Amino acid sequence: MKKYEKPDRWHYGIEAVDIARNVLSIVKFTSMKAEKMLVGAGKACVEGAAYGKAEGQVLLAEIRFGFAFGLYELGLDVKIVPPATIRKGVTGNGNKAMTEYFPVLNGNAADAIGVAAYAAGYRKEVENG
């Protein structure tokens, strides 16, 4: 993405919409099976704000909305969910980093797996002890 200065940072949201719109055309070009996986579920999840952090959250909100809007335009049911809620849903513990479950991946890749699992409806059953 191009770097924008403060008054123009809303353009990140526009770029995110364009990226999200292009996802389906790229997937259609590569494989019908991939298209069914993406659109067949009819659901999408965008990682929401980390409530404990203040740094960069406004800018991220604009980008986040851009991706959510682009996915919505693809016809998907989109949810914006805080990272701790995603982690708790798919691992049973919202305080552990996803890299603890996928130690060979970098943090972004591990988080993406968690977001995808959450969007797909996977939830870890937590035993009450």
Domain interval for residue 104: 82-124
Neighbouring C-alpha atoms within 13 Å toward the C-beta of 11: 9
User: 74 near 66, Cβ under 8 Å?
Assistant: no
The whole-chain average pLDDT of the chain stands at: 82
Report the number of distinct structural domains present in the chain.
2
Q: What pLDDT, on a 0 to 100 scale, did the predictor assign at position 27?
A: 66
Kindly report the pTM of this predicted structure: 0.73
Inside any domain, residue 107: yes
Residues 71-85 have pLDDT tens digits of 887 778 899 999 999
Q: Are residues 99 and 74 in the same domain?
A: no
Q: Are residues 68 and 55 in the same domain?
A: yes
Question: Mean of the pLDDT values across residues 1-28?
Answer: 77
Inside any domain, residue 129: no
Question: Mean of the pLDDT values across residues 31-44?
Answer: 65
Question: Mean of the pLDDT values across residues 50-54?
Answer: 73
